[in-house]
Copies of this chain bind each other. A is one copy, B any other.
Amino acid sequence: MPRRPGPGPRRPTIADIAERAGVSKGSVSYALNGNPGLSEPTRRRILAIAEEAGWRPNRAARALSASRAGACGLAVARPAHLLAYDPFFPKLISGIEAELSARQIALMLQMVDDVEAEMRALRRWWAERRVDGVLLVDLRVVDPRVPVVEQLGLPAVIVGGPGPTGKLPYFPGHDTQRIRQIVEHLVRLGHCRIDRVAGPAAFAHTQTRTRAFREALARAGAMGTALSTDYTTQAAAAATKKLVERCPVPTAIVYDNDMMAVAGLGVLQEASLAVPEDVSIVSLEDSILCEVVRPSLTASSWDVEAFGATAAHALVKLIDEAAGHHGVAGHHRVNDFTPDAAGPAEPTLVVRASTGPPPG
């Protein structure tokens, strides 16, 4: 049973601190956690000794006794080759991670092939007490993860959800507003036939966007359709080809993300259609890529990092609440965050070279 010391310097424990301070381990724990029931001088003395000794809690010990993992989980069910070209996720993860690490909470990241694998990951995290809560991204229209986390009692927030699903807090990504801005911009330029190359129809945010797209078109008296893709550039290229073979050719195309927009741009260039003289194109997601290609792409810009941070913050709150109502069988409270107010900054349409008046 004697611990193998392992290489490297020794890590002090509360027992060491207690001994040096001449108090019990309990008092050290109280001081370290800011619990009441300790005189100010004693607390300060203990804190100073712990600081000086470079004490840090053994997270496993703390997790075991406090029933708190000190970690949140994020499983992403998109193939790596897709993730690799979507600037959205690194930004989102960065925002989540910043919020969490400011609170000393770790982020466990797992990439999985599909929703089934993601659910296995969620169950395993729960069973092993690896995480205190999870972030759910890419909500499906009918999403099997929601009943799973609800049944497990695993605190969860939906990142980018479209609206109330069960009782989980959700954070829509300004989808409606961003689509609206894009359509209004194009209509103002004189376009009346606007098509869209969309993401997977099974994603809830795609549905939200499609609804917003239809409504915005109708309000403006314009027409247009949305073609679903699997987010691959091949699918985006194929959809673009289909659109430009139509008669009449659409004068504007909206792409659900930047890489698809660039793929579409390539197809248009090969079809000898000039952008924006013949066809205007817009990306629903802004990135450096939009700035860098020629012509540069008009794109909807929003603060994805702040968005991730907000969702992470809500998850932390939820976890704290769940721990507070200890033993209460009931579930997370209904969303009490303002929907469509994900970050501090409102989305804005960055107008670049890829949009202009329609031909003729």
Residues of chain A touching chain B, judged by Cβ–Cβ distance below 8 Å, are 3-9, 11, 54, 56-61, 63-64, 67, 69, 71, 80-81, 83-85, 87, 89-91, 93-95, 97-98, 101, 106-111, 121, 124, 126-130, 151-154, 233, 259, 262-263, 265-266, 269-270, 287-289, 291-294, 296, 305, 322-323, 326-331
A97 to chain B, nearest CB (A): 5
A259 to chain B, nearest CB (A): 6
Q: Determine if B292 and A262 form an interchain contact, defined as CB atoms under 8 angstroms apart.
A: yes
A99 to chain B, nearest CB (A): 12
Chain B residues, Cβ within 8 Å of A3: 67
Centre residue among A83, A263, A289, A296 by max chain B CB count within 10 A: A289
A255 to chain B, nearest CB (A): 12
Report the separation of the CA atoms of residues A58 and B292 in the bound assembly, to the nearest whole angstrom: 49
Chain B residues, Cβ within 8 Å of A85: 87, 287-289
Knowing that A101-B110, A266-B296 touch, tell me 16 more A-B residue pairs with CB under 8 angstroms: A6-B67, A9-B153, A54-B127, A58-B128, A58-B129, A64-B64, A80-B95, A81-B288, A84-B90, A84-B91, A84-B288, A85-B288, A108-B108, A108-B109, A259-B289, A289-B289
Q: Determine if A269 and B294 form an interchain contact, defined as CB atoms under 8 angstroms apart.
A: yes
A81 to chain B, nearest CB (A): 8
Task: Kindly identify which residue among B80, B101, B293 contacts A262, using a CB–CB cutoff of 8 Å.
Answer: B293
Q: Determine if A107 and B109 form an interchain contact, defined as CB atoms under 8 angstroms apart.
A: yes
**Contacts A84-B287, A85-B287 known; A330 to B59 CB distance under 8 Å?**
no
Nearest B residue (CB) for A305:
B80
Chain B residues, Cβ within 8 Å of A71: 108
Nearest B residue (CB) for A125:
B106
Q: Determine if B233 and A292 form an interchain contact, defined as CB atoms under 8 angstroms apart.
A: yes
Report the separation of the CA atoms of residues A329 and B265 in the bound assembly, to the nearest whole angstrom: 60
Task: Kindly identify which residue among B54, B90, B259 contacts A80, using a CB–CB cutoff of 8 Å.
Answer: B90
Report the separation of the CA atoms of residues A69 and B130 in the bound assembly, to the nearest whole angstrom: 11
Report the separation of the CA atoms of residues A97 and B330 in the bound assembly, to the nearest whole angstrom: 35
Centre residue among A7, A97, A153, A327 by max chain B CB count within 10 A: A7
Report the separation of the CA atoms of residues A326 and B6 in the bound assembly, to the nearest whole angstrom: 6
Chain A to chain B contacts (Cβ below 8 Å), 17 pairs: A6-B322, A7-B322, A7-B330, A8-B151, A8-B152, A9-B152, A11-B127, A59-B63, A60-B129, A63-B63, A71-B108, A83-B90, A84-B90, A97-B109, A101-B121, A106-B108, A262-B289
Report the separation of the CA atoms of residues A93 and B85 in the bound assembly, to the nearest whole angstrom: 13
A124 to chain B, nearest CB (A): 7
Centre residue among A58, A233, A269 by max chain B CB count within 10 A: A58
Task: Kindly identify which residue among B90, B233, B294, B326 contacts A291, using a CB–CB cutoff of 8 Å.
Answer: B233
